[in-house]
Amino acid sequence: MADISSESSSSTAVDAPPPQLPSSAPLPHVSDPDLVEAGGGEKVVELKMSWSGKTFNLSVPDQDRVYDLKILIWSLTSVPIDRVKLIGLTSSRNPPEENAVIASLNLKSGKKFMMLGTSVENSFKDPTRLQQAEVVDDLDVDYTQAKIPPHLEPRNIRKIKETTAGMQLDLINPPRPGKKLLVLDLDYTIVDTKPLIDGSLPSSECARPALHEFLELVYPHYDLVIWSQTSWRWLESKLVELGMLGDESRNYKISFVVDRRPMFTIFTEREGQPYKRLQLLWNKFPQFSAANTVHIDDLSRNFALNPREGLKIKAFKGAGTNAAAADRELVKLGAYLIRLAGLGDFREMDHGKDWPKWRKQT
């Protein structure tokens, strides 16, 4: 951690690990009306954090959560958020909850506190990965009961702006004119993540049956995007092992890959969950919209703000067993997506109803 200066300052708290903080990329055109009012009514609290003999000046929007503060600290120190311990931030003996709103802590500007935690160099094993795969990925959340809809919370609105501004997509194969957009989740949608992480099965055996055939079938109609709740480094190596990247013999190409960086966490009363918002992709590629985008995921919470574009697929688990080998979801899905591609506007179909019917009939 030799590259951290003794006085650091940042007011940019994106949900991003250290190496990928926003560049000076220009703010793209934002068409979502929710975003126009962003940032209203938020104040910034200045905090002084000491860690490892250094002092950091932190500018923290007061509608951020303690979780966001930990993300900011992670970006400055490389201490993973689950290892960040905040000492003396509040007078309470117990550390503040991650979902606590900063404003609720009544912090005076200039407040000093100490952070304890050990940084990790970027190890190949993503430290956020195991926890997410084992805990978060098995949860699904219904946001329809939230007191304030997630898309109206000032903090979320600001996060989308920041995320869009800072999002850097590494194009692997540029989108082709006239194609539709297929956004595919990775974990438990096209692979069984558990053996992929713990290495108990070779990567190729973790793939959902008929994965490559499925991708080859839809590729003439759709540009392919993988959006996974993981870090790019891990994701890239797994996609190569799965034969989805870098294998010239395949009759399909992945357009680009989105990792966890542009995902951000929204909060209910009790907990926070990261989710995916298609508007971020549409801002980058205006040829895509609700009319020609479909998003396949095993967790409906990822459709929280794009419910019409979401198609919830049964989770794929138990790779290596006979039951998993008999899984035919991707075969059925491929045929469904071909049918969908023939429509002038994807919203003519209702995936919530049409997909379950289609599964039963085929």
* Amino acid type, 44: V
Judged by CB under 5 A, the chain residues 189 through 208 that form the site for Mg ion are 189
Residue 155 vs 194, nearer CB to Mg ion? 194
Residue 102 vs 294, nearer CB to Mg ion? 294
Phi/psi of residue 332, nearest 5 degrees: -65, -40
* Contact by Cβ (8 Å): 329, 314: yes
Quick one: which of 15, 32, 187, 327 contacts Mg ion (CB under 5 A)? Answer: 187
Residue 111 vs 261, nearer CB to Mg ion? 261
Q: Cα(241)–Cα(238) distance, rounded to whole angstroms?
A: 5
Residue 179 vs 260, nearer CB to Mg ion? 260
Residue 58 vs 244, nearer CB to Mg ion? 244
Residue 102 vs 296, nearer CB to Mg ion? 296
CB 215 to Mg ion: min, Å: 17
CB 118 to Mg ion: min, Å: 30
Spell out the residues 6+ positions from residue 293 whose beta carbon is closer than 8 angstroms to its own. 180, 181, 182, 183, 278, 281, 282, 309, 346
Q: If you search the block for the tokens 């070779």, which residue do you land on?
A: 202
DSSP 8-state secondary structure symbol assigned to residue 161: H
* Contact by Cβ (8 Å): 184, 296: yes
Residue nearest to Mg ion (CB): 187
Residue 174: helix, strand or coil by DSSP? Answer: coil
Quick one: which of 32, 185, 192, 223 contacts Mg ion (CB under 5 A)? Answer: 185
Quick one: which of 56, 74, 188, 264 contacts Mg ion (CB under 5 A)? Answer: 188
Q: For the chain, how big is the Rg over CA atoms in Å? A: 21
Chain centroid to CA 243: 22
DSSP 8-state secondary structure symbol assigned to residue 205: G
Quick one: which of 15, 32, 64, 298 contacts Mg ion (CB under 5 A)? Answer: 298
CB 188 to Mg ion: min, Å: 4
* Contact by Cβ (8 Å): 140, 271: no
Phi/psi of residue 294, nearest 5 degrees: -130, 140
CB 190 to Mg ion: min, Å: 9
Q: Cα(221)–Cα(346) distance, rounded to whole angstroms?
A: 13
For the four alpha carbons of 70, 72, 75 and 78, in that order, the dihedral sign comes to negative
CB 195 to Mg ion: min, Å: 15
CB 137 to Mg ion: min, Å: 6
Q: Cα(191)–Cα(211) distance, rounded to whole angstroms?
A: 9
Phi/psi of residue 69, nearest 5 degrees: -60, -40
CB 167 to Mg ion: min, Å: 20
Q: Which two tokens stand for residue 2?
A: 């030799």
Residue 155 vs 312, nearer CB to Mg ion? 312
Binding range to Mg ion, per CB under 5 A, among 41-49, 62-70, 242-250, 298-306? 298-306
CB 3 to Mg ion: min, Å: 34
Binding range to Mg ion, per CB under 5 A, among 45-53, 86-94, 122-130, 296-304? 296-304
CB 282 to Mg ion: min, Å: 21
Residue 78 vs 302, nearer CB to Mg ion? 302
Residue 189 vs 279, nearer CB to Mg ion? 189
Q: Does 126 bind Mg ion (CB under 5 A)?
A: no
Burial of 236 (0-12, 13-18, 19+ CB in 10 A): middle
Binding range to Mg ion, per CB under 5 A, among 13-21, 42-50, 170-178, 290-298? 290-298
Number of residues that bind Mg ion (CB under 5 A): 5
Interface ranges with Mg ion (CB under 5 A): 185, 187-189, 298
